[in-house]
C-alpha cells in the first residue's frame, strides 16, 4: 500500500492476495467485506481514512494475475463554495436558479479525462491559461425545495473533483474570461470527452 497523497492511495494485490481474500477482478465489489478489510488495513498501515468520504475506485488488472487499485477521496463542494449566478422567478411559485462552479486542472490530459466522465446534461465550457486548464460548469435548479448541495453531490461532478480541484468561482471565472483562451465555450464535457 502506497499513500500517494492525503486523498489518494495505491494498493497492489498479487494473485495470491486476491485468492486469500476471495476477490476477483471481474466482480470487484467496493461495498463487500473484502474491500472493507483492505481499507481497514490501509488505515492501519498508512493512515488513509476514507470511511466518511465518497471515494472513486480504479482497478487495473496485472499480467501476473493481481491488480492495482487506486482509491481517491472525492471532495464534494459545499453550497457556500458554489456561486449563485442569478436567481430568476418563473411561472407559479417555483424559483429557477442558475449556478456556476469552476474546476482547475494541471494538465490537458486531466481536463480531458474529467470531461469524458462528466455529466453531459450540465452546460460546460473549457479554458486554458498560464495557470492551467479550467472547466466551468453551469446548471439550472428548478425545484423550489432543491438545494445546491443535492445537485453538486451527484456523480456529474465526481470526475471533475477526482481529476482537478474546485476553485473560487467568482474571481477565477473573471480571470479566465478576460485572460484565458477559450478551448470550447459550450458543451465542453461532451465535445472534449469524445476526444479521449
Non-local CB neighbours of 37 within 8 Å, separated by 6+ positions: 21
pLDDT at 196 over 80: no
Non-local CB neighbours of 79 within 8 Å, separated by 6+ positions: 147, 148, 149, 152
Does the predicted model carry a pTM greater than 0.75? no
Give the lowest-confidence range in 40-49, 89-98, 111-120, 122-131: 89-98
33: three-class secondary structure by DSSP: helix
Q: Checking DSSP bridges between strand 95-105 and strand 83-89, what pairing results, if any? A: antiparallel
**What residue ranges define each of the domains in the chain, with the CATH number in brackets?**
2-74 (no CATH), 83-193 (3.30.70.1950)
Strand partners, 54: 74
- 3-state DSSP of 56-118: EEEEEECCCCCEEEEEEEECCCCCCCCEEEEEEECCCCCEEEEEEEEEEECCHHHHHHHHHCC
**Cβ distance 112 to 78 under 8 Å?**
no
Q: C-alpha cell of 194?
A: 469524445
Q: Roughly how many angstroms between the first and final C-alpha of the chain, as a whole number? A: 29
Q: C-alpha cell of 51?
A: 470511511
pLDDT of residue 191: 87
- Comparing C-alpha atoms, which of 126, 132, 128 is closest to residue 189? 126
Mean pLDDT calculated for residue range 14-25? 84
Higher pLDDT, 14 or 116: 14
pLDDT of residue 1: 92
Q: C-alpha cell of 43?
A: 488505515
86: three-class secondary structure by DSSP: strand
Question: How high does pLDDT run on average in the chain?
Answer: 77
pLDDT at 109 over 80: yes
Q: C-alpha cell of 38?
A: 483492505
Q: Using the 8-state DSSP alphabet, how is residue 67 labeled?
A: E
CA 36 to chain centre: 22
Band of residue 145 on the pLDDT scale cut at 50, 70, 90: very low
Residues 34-92 have pLDDT tens digits of: 888 888 888 999 999 887 777 888 888 888 888 898 888 876 555 554 444 444 444 55
Amino acid at each position: 500500500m502506497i499513500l500517494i497523497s492525503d486523498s489518494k492511495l495505491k494498493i497492489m494485490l498479487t494473485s495470491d492476495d486476491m485468492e486469500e481474500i476471495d476477490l476477483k477482478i471481474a466482480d470487484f465489489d467496493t461495498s463487500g467485506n473484502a474491500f472493507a478489510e483492505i481499507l481497514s488495513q490501509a488505515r492501519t498501515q498508512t493512515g488513509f481514512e476514507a470511511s466518511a468520504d465518497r471515494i472513486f475506485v480504479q482497478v487495473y488488472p496485472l499480467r501476473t494475475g493481481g491488480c492495482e487499485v487506486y482509491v481517491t477521496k472525492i471532495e464534494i463542494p459545499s453550497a457556500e463554495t458554489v456561486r449563485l449566478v442569478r436567481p430568476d422567478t418563473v411561472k407559479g411559485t417555483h424559483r429557477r436558479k442558475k449556478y456556476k462552479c469552476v474546476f482547475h486542472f494541471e494538465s490537458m490530459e486531466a481536463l480531458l479525462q474529467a470531461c469524458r466522465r462528466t455529466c453531459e446534461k450540465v452546460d460546460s465550457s473549457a479554458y486554458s491559461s498560464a495557470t492551467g486548464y479550467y472547466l466551468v460548469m453551469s446548471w439550472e435548479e428548478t425545484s423550489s425545495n432543491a438545494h445546491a448541495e443535492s445537485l453538486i453531490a451527484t456523480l456529474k461532478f465526481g470526475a471533475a473533483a477526482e481529476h482537478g480541484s474546485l476553485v473560487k468561482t467568482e474571481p477565477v471565472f473573471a480571470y479566465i474570461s478576460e485572460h484565458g483562451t477559450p478551448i470550447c465555450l459550450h458543451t465542453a464535457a461532451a465535445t472534449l470527452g469524445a476526444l479521449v
